[in-house]
């Protein structure tokens, strides 16, 4: 099961995205129309992917995704926007570490494929970190055993 957070100030957009994403029975979707509420929730619950609108009152999507990057660095970050320009793209990639960028209106199949790819990337990154920790633990144990044998 993967958990996906959707943030857009327009409730009809969050409903449409939720309907689209819930086509996959392995995805649990939470929607928010306020970036601050979403950030508060992210401090108490883990998400595998975050999909955010770019233009929202108060916070823009890049700033929101950047804050999410600090709170949940492993979550895949995806930006949705009706505003397409190079500065937005560069900011989304460089500042927020966005995995993908989609324009409104989005193509459901493309969005689902992109989210699936992002979740696969997420799963591999988490697995790699766990394996690296396991290797560090095993090395430490080997060193302890070596010291005991030399002792």
Boundaries of every domain in the chain? 2-150
Alpha carbon of residue 115 to chain centroid:
9
The predicted pLDDT at position 78 comes to 96
pLDDT digits (tens, 9 = 90+) for 72-113: 999 999 999 887 777 777 777 777 888 998 999 999 999 999
**Cα 54 to Cα 128: distance, rounded to the nearest angstrom:** 31
How far apart (Å, rounded) are the C-alpha atoms in residues 26 and 28?
A: 7
Separation in Å, CA 9 to CA 40, 48, 73, 84, 87: 16, 21, 23, 18, 22
Q: What per-residue confidence (pLDDT) applies to 85?
A: 75
Please tell me the pTM assigned to this model: 0.84
pLDDT category, 15, cuts 50, 70, 90?
A: very high
**pLDDT the model gives residue 27:** 97
Of residues 84 and 17, more confidence is placed in 17
Is residue 66 pLDDT above 80, yes or no?
A: yes
| Of the candidates 52, 31, 130, 43, the residue with the CA atom closest to the CA atom of residue 97 | 52
Of 3.40.710.10, 3.40.50.2300, 3.40.80.10, 3.30.342.10, which CATH number belongs to 2-150?
A: 3.40.50.2300
Q: Within 13 Å and on the Cβ side, how many CA atoms surround 34?
A: 4
Report pLDDT for 145: 84
CB 6 within 8 A of CB 29: yes
* Chain mean pLDDT for the chain: 90
For residue 146, the model assigns a pLDDT of 84
């Amino acid at each position: 099961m993967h958990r996906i957070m959707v943030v857009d100030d327009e409730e009809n957009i969050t409903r449409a995205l939720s309907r689209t994403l819930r086509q996959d029975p392995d995805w649990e979707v939470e929607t928010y129309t306020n970036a601050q509420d979403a950030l508060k929730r992210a401090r108490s619950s883990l998400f595998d992917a975050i999909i955010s609108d770019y233009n929202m009152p108060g916070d823009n999507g890049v700033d929101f995704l950047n804050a999410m990057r600090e709170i949940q660095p492993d979550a895949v970050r995806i930006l949705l926007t009706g505003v397409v320009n190079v500065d937005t793209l560069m900011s989304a990639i460089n500042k927020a570490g966005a995995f993908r960028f989609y324009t409104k209106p989005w193509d459901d199949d493309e969005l689902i494929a992109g989210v699936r790819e992002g979740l696969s990337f997420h799963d591999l990154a988490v697995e790699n970190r766990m394996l690296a920790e396991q290797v560090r633990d095993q090395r430490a144990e080997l060193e302890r055993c070596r010291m005991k044998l030399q002792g």
